[in-house]
Amino acid sequence: MNASGEARHGPGGTPPADLELDCRGMRCPLPVIRLANNIGDVAVGQSLAVVAEDPAARSDVPAWCRMREQEYVGEGVAEDGVPRYVVRRLR
């Protein structure tokens, strides 16, 4: 929340992210590989966003979160309309 008590949101109404991965133009499995390689770049409790046009990312990112015990925060859209998936690092 911001100082006025309103919820903060990133592009497209998704939660803000501490790191954003631009995976535009990448196809499965590359967006999830980038997520796996970069999750350690944020501290526990912080989040990162995966921006990917690949339709498989819609199911791959939440599945990766379940397998790796991370929190899938949700989906929205980047400013250019590309899907944006937010993950919070839990461990």
Active-site residue list: 28
Find the farthest-apart pair of alpha carbons in the chain and give their distance in angstroms, rounded: 41
Report the alpha-carbon distance of residue 38 to residue 45 in Å, rounded: 14
For residue 81, the Cα-to-chain-centroid distance in whole angstroms is 15
